[in-house]
Structures are given as C-alpha cells and as structure tokens.
Structure 1
C-alpha cells in the first residue's frame, strides 16, 4: 500500500476505500494510511462513543461523524441506482438521533453461571454481552440487566434465546423466544418481573407461538393518530423519527388523492396518515396485522378496506391498480418485482418505501422502462451507524407529449 494513501469514501459494507483502491476497515474519509500500517485520523474520524465498538455488530460505523455518515448513505443510494442506469435528485439523508431505537432483537445465552445478553459480533455468531448501548432507547436499555436475572432461571444451556424489545404506547413490550417457562415458580417470576418494571406486556414463545403472560391493558402503537393493536413481535419502524420521515414523504406524494392503495401495509403505518376521508385499500400478508389495522380503522371511522393478500403470489392487476389515484409500496428487503410489472402498465402516482437500495433500484428500472419518472429519493438513516439505509421515493407517469 502506498505511503500516505487517503481514504476517499466508504464501501457498501463499511470499509474505507483508499485512493489506491484498497479497502481498510474502521477508517473514515480523510484518514491517511501510513507506511507502517497505522492510521492517521482525518477530520471526519470521531471517537466511537460505545465501549463495545467495534466488536458489537449493532453498529459498524460509529467512527464516522454525521457528515461523512450522511455522505455514505447518499452514495449507497447513488451507486445502487447507477447499476441500473438511473439517476435522480437524492435529498439530504435524515438521520435518527442516538438512543432512539424503539424496536430491537437481542440474543441471550448461558456461559457457565453467567447470562450474556446483547448483539452478535459483526460477521460472526459470537455474542457480545452489552453493558452500554448508544442506539437503544433508554427505556429499553434499562431492562437489559434485569432481564439477565430473569433469564438466569429459565435459559436453556444448549441454545440461544431471542429477546424482542419494542416501545409501545403503554411502555416496554418484551417477547422472549426459545425458553421454557412452565411451572408456578416461573409464572410467579414472570409476573413479578413485569409488574416491577411496569411492562406493557411480557410474552413467552416456547416454540408453539407467542403466549402473553402479562398484559394489564391492550397494547397499542399509535399510527397516524390512531391507536392500533400491536401483536407480539410485530414489525414497527425502528425509530419514531424514521417513521415520521417516511410517513411525511408518502403523505406528500399522495396529497390530493381520493383513493390510495397501500401495498405491504403491515399494521397501517402508511394507511392511516392520509386525510380522514381518503379511501384506502390496504393489502398485507400477515393476518394478525390485517386484523389489527381493520379493527383500528373501524374504531376511528376511517375508510380503510383491508385485504389479507400475499402480494408475491397474487399481485394487484393493472385493472385493480388503475382504480387508485396513488399507490404506496413498502415491501420487504426482497422488493416487489412481480408487482412492478403490473404497476409499469398502470397510471397512478407511486410512493415506494424501501429498506434495500439494490432491490429498489431493480424495481425502479422496471417502472422507468414502463414510462414512469423517478422524481427524487429521500434516504432515511434510522438504523444509525449501520450500513442499513431506508428510502422514500416518488414516481410519476411521464407525459406522452
């Protein structure tokens, strides 16, 4: 490696890219690689705030300042688009602040008498026992040490348990998967733990499905001003700030639409953001999510028609799509390639929300080939200091004139 090579960018997986083309982990733009193998830090290299960095895989880019992290998210999007011959306005990324993650999955395992609870190492299955976290909401992080005590009596020695933490309207919601909690002693321990820490709900999944053991009041999450029942372990945007950014973008794209289709609707994050009289069709494959959204919309007297529908096996047809003024899509990481083919022949404006720039760009190319214009992309960094980037995007049918 040449002496004085400068880090000029960050690769997709987080390594620094030197001016001679080589990759160097844990470097920031402006760092210089010395001939002795050391690194001279540049103006964008910050001191990571967490003592578990870089071993913990919860964050991989804590050594970047906000400016270079935002540039990284921008470049991820631009690179993915370029691979499909696309370009457009890429807006300044919206970053969620530290300690705002309201949903996370941690792992627990026993080592001798000790219970380890945390995230796995980057590119490894080894568990890091977390005693500091700069991404989790403080109300969730405060439960980690008490959870170690609770799990000490019921954690199996031969396998790892998963701990799903979510902040609901009523407080912390915990789902523990992979433990056996039969018997009076375990029941009393769970009840005592939940009451002592004012949990909204405590659920155990021994392998046959979630079974709530503590839920004083029905657990909800407020979406678009409407409280929606939250099934245990249900998907929720990782931060409130990230949800607000994505919702604001989708609402702006659909402004003025009398009828909207929300595809891959989940609990209704993007179904309930519209004017109260907007007619919304919400399609989702998860039955629990569909039932929660239907009940919430009915209670709030919102004109939302829910459809329990697997859009991978049965995407909306062109005829169905043309009944709507606007379509919102928020598919899983695999994207929505089959649905794109029908959308490319339809006429509504489109708001596409994505958690994967690569599959989004593939889908976007199908729409653009069908006559749509990609107006802009709004990156959203709600998984702070990770290589994960969310997108909100706007498509409009190009004029035939």
Structure 2
C-alpha cells in the first residue's frame, strides 16, 4: 500500500500521515511498496552537485511553494505546542546566491587544503566546487583561499574561515590558521592586495586581530554606515534584513519612545522613529552604534543578567527584541508583567520564540501576526518577526 508525504519534519525528512519519516521526500511525493520515493509536484532537481552531502543545505529537493509552507508550519507547530494560534503571513524566501556571511571549515590534506561546509551530521569537509547559496563575491574567494591555506596550514591541521560582505568588499577572518615567519606574512599580504579584500583578520587562539584593513570597514544599516567589528553579527541576507526591519517598523508604528533590546549594531534601532534606547551586551557593537548614531541612547548591558525591570519598561511605548537562539526568558518575564502596549519580537528559533510567546500571552499579550523569513535558503533554519499587543 502506497503512502503520501504530507509534511516536512523539523530536520527535513518527509512525513506520511501515519507518521513514517523518509529522507529527501516532499509533500505530494508517494512512497512505493518497496520504500522508494515517487516524486510529486513539489519535488525538484537539486541544483548543486554537492547536495545532499554538503551540510550547507538540507532542502534543495523542495520547491519554493513547499519550502515556504515548511517555514510557516515550523512556526505554527511551535506555537501550537503552547496552545497559541495566530495569523502567519506569506513567508519571504531569500533568493539563491544571496547569503552575505558564512563560516567554512578548512583542513590540510597532504599538499592541499580543502575548504567548505561540513557534511551533514559529520565533521568531514565537503570541498566546495560550486555553491548556490553564497553571494558570488564570497564564493569567488573559495578557490584562492584553498590555495592560500594549502601554503599556510600544516599537514592535518584545520581551521575556520568566516566570510562577510562589508561596504568595502569581503571581510575575512581566519581562525586557527597560523601565520609564522616573514614568508607567510608576505604571502598573506599579497593575497589580501590581489583579492582586494576589505579586511583580513587572524585569530590564532588569543582573539581576533586585524591583519590587513586599508580603510575602516563598515556595514550599511538602514542607509547609515556603521563600523563593522571583526566577527560581528549581520543578518544573513540583505533582503531578509529589509523584510525583518519592515516588519519591526510596522509593529512599532509611530511610537515616540522605543527600546531596542539585544540591539547588535543597530539593525532595527537605526530604522526606528522617535526616541530610541538600545541595549546590547557586545562592547564593540555598542561603541560602533554610538559612533554611527549619537542620537540613540545606547547602553552596554547584559540583558540575561540584568533585564530591564517593569519600572524601566514603563518608559517605552514599544519594545523591540531580537535575542540569540536561546530566546529571552528573563526579559520576557518582565515584559509580561509590564504595561508596554506593543512588542516586536524577532527570532531565529521558533521553539524559544513560542516559549516566550506563551509567557507574554499569560501576561495578557496577544500575538497579532508572524512573518516567516527564509534567509538560510534550502536549510531547516527559520527566522521570523511577530507583533504582540496588550
């Protein structure tokens, strides 16, 4: 008896109505009696030769319609576990080759180096020869970096390569890659100039330091250049950032007093109207935002250890928060007890978002809507922005 795939599970497997899981199956596919997959209307040919070995993508076999449904279902399912229901808007999908930041692994094997993403559920590195998620400017550096690292790395030694697009070009951070002696320094300097890098930084175990930076490196956020600290967080795609910022601005409306918590470099603070207070735990990000926007009241503050209390929250019409994957349980508990009229909550983890949403709901807030954003194309990673009202 054949079965039909009805949904995609959190880790990317297709699931039948009876609950059986099949890797690389898509809603609409059927499972034959021998367990083979008969492709349905939403099953596409993966565009990349490295799929499915490369861990950079898990869902290249899923078309855009089914992928958008998957993102929405992940959020709806997480909320439903806490008894919550809301309007889930049309998901935004970042296009192929739009990722502007990535962390790649590298390893010296014999006389050459490999560089790429780890294999799925493995420490083995897939040596990238093509990539359909990275921006062309980033992927163009993979081959030159492979040659460079072949010269710098010692046999069987590995490291990490972090790439990000800055206003001035590509920002590169090498972690665990030793640069010893004049010849190595000259090789690295020549590489930076030939590739016209915005910056090259090294972290050899004592923290990152800039090795090459012809001019100060910046990232433009909401039309304003902000100094980009080494290794600083940026939203994965420019279009995804714009969609999240638009959702936040919609939730904020014409508020005159807004708090942006876990503000980072000011991704949202710089887009907000009226008087803005921003709290962030990273000292480098705080200094960068202060220099870029003196009118914003920026505070260096660890919101896990010292969340804004109910009295402080009373100073604001709206609170924006964009915490790490762990969510913001401590801050949300105080928000639930506050009288702040609206909250714009951005998250990269539907599970912790739903947990925090339940706390807010118990405090009298209603989740008006959620906008899913698929910045990590063809992955199981889900981002979202939502609006709470009281």
TM-score (norm 2): 0.98
Which one is further off, 41-50 or 25-34?
25-34
The equivalent of 1:375 in structure 2 is 368
Task: Return 5+ residue gaps in structure 2 as ranges.
Answer: none
Match of 1:95 among 93, 96, 109: 93
Q: Paired residue for 1:263?
A: 261
Give the superposed CA RMSD: 0.9
Which residue of structure 2 lines up, in the alignment, with residue 286 of structure 1? 282
1:19 positional shift: 2.8
Which residues of 2 match residues 43-82 of structure 1 at below 5 A?
43-82=41-80
Deviating beyond 4 angstroms after TM superposition, the runs of 4 or more aligned structure 1 residues are none
Write the deviation string for residues 12-48 of structure 1: whole angstroms up to 9, x where unpaired.
1100002332000011111111112221111100000
Decide whether the 8 Å contact of 2:108 with 2:149 is kept in 1. Answer: no
SS of the equivalent of 1:377 reads: strand
Q: Is the 8 A contact 2:112 2:147 kept in 1?
A: no
- Structure 2 residue 82 is the aligned partner of structure 1 residue 84: yes
State how far apart, in whole Å, the 1-side matches of 2:251 and 2:243 are.
13
Q: Which range moves more in the overlay, 319-328 or 179-188?
A: 179-188
Q: Tell me whether 1:393 sits opposite 2:380 in the alignment.
A: no
Q: Deviations over 1:176-197 (max 9, x none)?
A: 0001112211111111111111
Matches within 5 A, 1:23-38: 23-38=21-36
Moved more, 61-70 or 249-258: 249-258
* Counterparts of 2:74 and 2:207, CA distance in 1: 38
Q: Provide the aligned length of Structure 1 versus Structure 2.
A: 389
Which deviations, in whole Å up to 9, do the C-alpha atoms of 1:295-344 show, x marking residues without a partner?
A: 1112xxxx201111100000000000110111000000000001111101
CA distance in 2, matches of 1:158, 1:259: 55
Q: Tell me how far apart the structure 2 counterparts of residues 88 and 389 of structure 1 sit (CA, whole Å).
A: 17
**What are the equivalent positions in structure 2 for 1:11-22 lying under 5 Å apart?**
11-22=9-20
SS of the aligned residue for 1:334 comes to coil
In the alignment, what sits opposite 1:163? 161
The CA deviation at 1:384 is: 0.7
Q: Deviations over 1:267-303 (max 9, x none)?
A: 110110023xx211111111111111111112xxxx2
Residue matched to 1:328: 320
How far did 1:156 drift? 3.1
> Counterparts of 1:138-157 in structure 2 under 5 Å?
138-157=136-155
Counterparts of residues 233-382 of structure 1 (less than 5 Å): 233-275=231-273, 278-298=274-294, 303-348=295-340, 349-382=342-375
Gaps of 5+ in 1: none
| C-alpha contact (below 8 Å) 2:348/2:381 kept by paired residues | yes
Match of 2:114 among 88, 91, 116: 116
Instruction: Look up the SS of the partner of 2:271 in the other structure.
Output: coil
1:158 Cα deviation after fit: 4.2
Mapped partners of 1:111, 1:180: distance in 2 = 16
| Partner SS for 1:80 | helix
Asked whether the 8 Å contact 2:97–2:133 carries over to 1, the reply is yes
Residue 270 of structure 2: SS of its match in structure 1? coil
SS at match of 2:344: strand
Taking the TM superposition and a 5 Å limit, the aligned residue runs for 1:90-239 are 90-239=88-237
Deviations 1:227-271 (A, max 9, x none): 100011111000001100100000111121111101000111011
Q: Secondary structure of 2:361's match?
A: helix
Instruction: Work out whether residues 368 and 386 of structure 2, in 8 Å CA contact, stay in contact via their aligned partners in 1.
Output: yes
Q: Secondary structure at the match of 1:185?
A: helix
- The answer to whether the 8 Å contact 2:109/2:156 transfers is no
- Equivalent-residue separation in structure 1 for 2:111 and 2:180 (angstroms): 21
Q: Distance in 2 between matches of 1:270 and 1:160?
A: 36
